[in-house]
């Protein structure tokens, strides 16, 4: 059943709006940073960082993106289903089972290889499908997660040369171990150098390679010499900084960037479900988490931990109602929260509630979901449930 936007809004207790204007703004900024002739591969793993592959991908296509990076084969399926553009290309950066290699080649999906076993599978499958496998050779430069070691490269090159008929080297790539923090500066410098050496070697042995890529959002912004001819951009396209450090670095380098050049795409909204006056000295909700110390007006909002609203925001989180902040008062439940609206005049059942994003001049940032963990943005975003409806505004 096709759900119209209005129906989605009526059926679901909360929903996520995605701003196309914000995406355009961010891509313009990132294209400026990447420079002419550099492909931006839009990283859409983790259900497009919680933005929803189904909704996000066609919108990104309309903004001129035709290369998408996913982690695993199931995400590639989703991406191809959502795509409206026959020229869109999908690249798998991580997990693909041996059994799925033939499927990927048949659908023209390119994928990372970092083990000889996968290359052998690719040859077998290429023979069967009578199509060359499009490979991205992942080289180990210091991340120590996946990737061919330096001492294996001779064998990799020989293998690729021998099997040219079946294997096409679509790309050569690596990934940096924490370009978002200056604490990793030396490690990144070493990785950059090892990658440059590997690229040189491959080019001289194999010939031209269509896509050479290493940079994620942080590397693009903090280490422009990692750009090559493609960058893999996740978090920044959605309007979030990889870390506060990267933002400060950019501000220092470019004083013209007065305002934040990235705009958040996402606004997570719900509405007031019910209201209640509670006398002074009463507990609200389960247990004894919140004791009223005056007569309080309490609104229930149908969003809970089931929907990705963190339980540790009990008594500490805020939402926006009528352009003002209302504090979560009492335990975060599975499907709802209770918020104190005593000081916000005139709150009515059905009023819009913003859980993440802007309302009037106020904003609830992702970071305010908990300030401490470094990569928290990534985690909160990808925990947003798949079944929350997303719609473009």
Ligand X SMILES: *Cc1c(COP(=O)(O)O)cnc(C)c1O
Residues that bind ligand X (CB under 6 A): 43, 45, 93, 175, 216-218, 232-236, 242
340: which strand partners?
298, 327
Least distance to ligand X from the beta carbon of 76, Å?
14
| Residue 243 structure tokens | 């870390």
Task: Please say which residue, 69 or 359, places its beta carbon nearer to ligand X.
Answer: 69
- Catalytic residue from among 33, 45, 168, 192: 45
Cα–Cα distance measured from residue 288 to residue 137, given in angstroms and rounded to the nearest whole number: 57
* Nearest residue (beta carbon) to ligand X: 234
How far is the first Cα of the chain from the last one, in angstroms, to the nearest whole number? 21
Least distance to ligand X from the beta carbon of 375, Å?
9
In degrees and rounded to multiples of 5, residue 232 shows phi and psi of -110, 105
Task: Please say which residue, 45 or 322, places its beta carbon nearer to ligand X.
Answer: 45
**Rama region for 150: left / alpha / beta (φ>0; ψ in -120 to 50; rest):** alpha
Whose CA is closest to 321, among 275, 352, 360, 362? Answer: 352
Least distance to ligand X from the beta carbon of 45, Å?
6
Contacts of 236 (CB under 8 A, 6+ apart): 26, 30, 217, 220, 221, 242, 262
| Residue 284 structure tokens | 């609200």
Cα–Cα distance measured from residue 358 to residue 340, given in angstroms and rounded to the nearest whole number: 19
Q: Dihedral sign, CA of 358, 363, 369, 371?
A: positive
Task: Please say which residue, 300 or 377, places its beta carbon nearer to ligand X.
Answer: 377
- Catalytic residue from among 161, 185, 203, 286: 286
Task: Please say which residue, 112 or 268, places its beta carbon nearer to ligand X.
Answer: 112
Q: Is 45 a catalytic residue?
A: yes
Task: Please say which residue, 83 or 217, places its beta carbon nearer to ligand X.
Answer: 217
Least distance to ligand X from the beta carbon of 236, Å?
6
Q: Is 223 a catalytic residue?
A: no
Least distance to ligand X from the beta carbon of 165, Å?
29
324: which strand partners?
321
Q: What is the largest CA-CA distance in the chain?
A: 81
| Residue 41 structure tokens | 């591969």
Catalytic residue ranges: 45, 286
């Amino acid at each position: 059943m096709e759900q119209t936007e209005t129906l989605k809004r009526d059926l679901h207790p909360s929903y996520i709006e995605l701003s196309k204007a914000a995406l355009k703004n961010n891509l313009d900024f990132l294209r400026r940073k990447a420079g002419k002739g550099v492909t931006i591969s839009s990283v859409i793993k983790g259900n497009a960082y919680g933005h929803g592959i189904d909704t996000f991908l066609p919108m990104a296509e309309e903004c001129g993106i035709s290369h998408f990076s996913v982690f695993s084969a199931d995400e590639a399926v989703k991406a191809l289903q959502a795509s409206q553009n026959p020229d869109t290309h999908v690249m798998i950066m991580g997990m693909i089972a041996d059994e799925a290699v033939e499927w990927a080649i048949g659908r023209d999906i390119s994928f990372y290889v970092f083990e000889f076993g996968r290359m052998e599978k690719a040859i077998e499958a290429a023979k069967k499908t009578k199509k060359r496998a499009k490979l991205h050779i992942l080289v180990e430069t210091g991340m120590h997660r996946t990737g061919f070691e330096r001492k294996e490269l001779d064998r990799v090159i020989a293998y690729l040369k021998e099997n040219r008929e079946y294997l096409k080297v679509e790309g050569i790539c690596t990934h940096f171990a924490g370009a978002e923090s200056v604490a990793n500066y030396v490690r990144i410098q070493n990785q950059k150098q090892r990658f440059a050496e590997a690229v040189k070697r491959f080019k001289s042995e194999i010939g031209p390679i269509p896509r050479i890529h290493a940079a994620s959002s942080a590397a693009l912004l903090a280490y422009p010499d990692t750009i090559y001819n493609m960058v893999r951009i996740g978090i920044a396209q959605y309007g979030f900084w990889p870390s506060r450090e990267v933002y400060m670095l950019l501000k220092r380098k470019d004083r013209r960037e007065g305002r934040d050049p990235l705009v958040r795409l996402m606004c997570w909204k719900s509405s007031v479900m019910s209201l209640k006056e509670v006398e002074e000295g009463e507990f609200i909700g389960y247990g004894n988490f919140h004791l009223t110390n005056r007569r309080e007006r309490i609104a229930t909002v149908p969003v809970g931990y089931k929907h990705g609203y963190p339980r540790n925001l009990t008594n500490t989180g805020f939402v926006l109602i009528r352009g003002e902040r209302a504090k979560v008062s009492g335990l975060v439940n599975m499907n709802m929260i209770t918020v104190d609206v005593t000081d916000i005049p005139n709150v009515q059942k059905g009023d819009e509630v913003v859980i993440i994003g802007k309302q009037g001049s106020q904003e609830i940032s992702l970071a305010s979901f908990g300030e401490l963990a470094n990569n928290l943005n990534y985690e909160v975003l990808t925990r947003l449930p798949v079944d929350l409806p997303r719609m473009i505004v």
